[in-house]
Amino acid sequence: MNYPQLKLDAQICHRLYMASNGIARAYRASLQKLDLTYPQYVVMMALWEKDEISIAELLEKTAIDGGAMTQILKKMTDKALLSIVKDEKDKRKRVVKLQSKGHDLRHQAATIPEQIRCKFPSIDEQKAQALIELLDSINDDLA
């Protein structure tokens, strides 16, 4: 029996997998200069948008798994990029706060999005926006 539905060429998921791996490779050189992994970069971008947020907010914003986030935050604390402090209003909560080294890294990272965007010459702004909308739909459906 032939099962055409099992061919790799017919799979959206495999294309997403290949694209995800390719994008991770595209970021690698730029992020090595900052001594960051891609998940650490995601955390930094979230904190550059809004500093001093709870770990729960950071988990929601980044969609990173809680166990992985614990390890990421520990490594970033060890690098003196951020600190984790008790919330002044609710001592049970922990707040993630950028340190000066973390703030300074923002300036160095400012060119990374354009460097990565240049790696996709066949995708104009309209296609990029359509892709964002499609990926948001996929993520919403899977949530």
DSSP 93: S
pLDDT at 141: 95
Pick from 94, 89, 109, 113: nearest CA to 44: 109
Do the beta carbons of residue 85 and residue 98 sit within 8 Å? no
pLDDT at 2: 87
Whole-angstrom Cα distance, residue 136 to residue 50?
21
pLDDT at 89: 83
CATH number of 8-142: 1.10.10.10
Whole-angstrom Cα distance, residue 77 to residue 118?
32
Alpha helices in the chain (DSSP H): 12-34, 38-49, 55-62, 66-78, 100-109, 112-117, 125-142
Q: What is the separation of C-alpha 104 from the centre of its chain, rounded to a whole number of angstroms?
A: 19
Model confidence at 1: pLDDT above 90: no
pLDDT band at 129 (very low <50, low <70, confident <90, very high): very high
